[in-house]
Amino acid sequence: MVDHYSIVPQIEHYGCMVDLLGRAGLLDKALSFIRNMPMELDAVIWAALLGACRIYKNVEIAELALQKLIELEPKNPANFVMLSNIYKDLGRWEDVARLKIAMRDTGFRKLPGCSVIECNDSVVEFYSLDERHSETESIYRILKGLTMLLRSHGYVPNLTDVTQGI
């Protein structure tokens, strides 16, 4: 990059490479790339690797990534949830339980999912399983219609995580 474009690679560029390698399933290469980065690593780098580990169900690298994330962001429960989801995907229920106990003992809670949309020049927030919104019935009716339309075009929803945390 320096020779051809006079751009010195920043951590964001390295993060993109980790993400690309991870999404391609090249987790060992992504880890090697991380270990050879010429700068101090941030949580985004390790979180990208952890996310790729979920896709490819690589527990060994995921556990290493979580350890690094704990050092960088010890109070971020999302990192624990990601590893817990990997364990769950692999049917490692004892590990799921162990991690959930560790999260509970340290006071962590999984935060509810939140979506934000802009509609008619205003911003609206929606939280997972929250039915306090004044237009809840209308929203669910529209979502049901959209879901039916998507299914008619071949969409098959992945419902494996729907009951998690309930």
Class of 2-105 in CATH: mainly alpha
Using pLDDT thresholds of 50, 70 and 90, give the confidence band for residue 24: very high
What residues contact residue 50 under an 8 Å CB cut-off, 6+ apart? 62, 65, 66, 69, 79, 82, 83
- The enclosing H or E element of 14 equals helix 11-23
pTM: 0.66
Per-residue pLDDT of 47-106, as tens digits, reads 999 999 999 999 999 999 999 999 999 888 888 889 999 999 999 999 999 988 888 887
**Residue-level length of the chain:** 166
| Mean pLDDT taken over the chain | 87
The domain ranges of the chain are: 2-105, 114-152
DSSP code at position 104: H
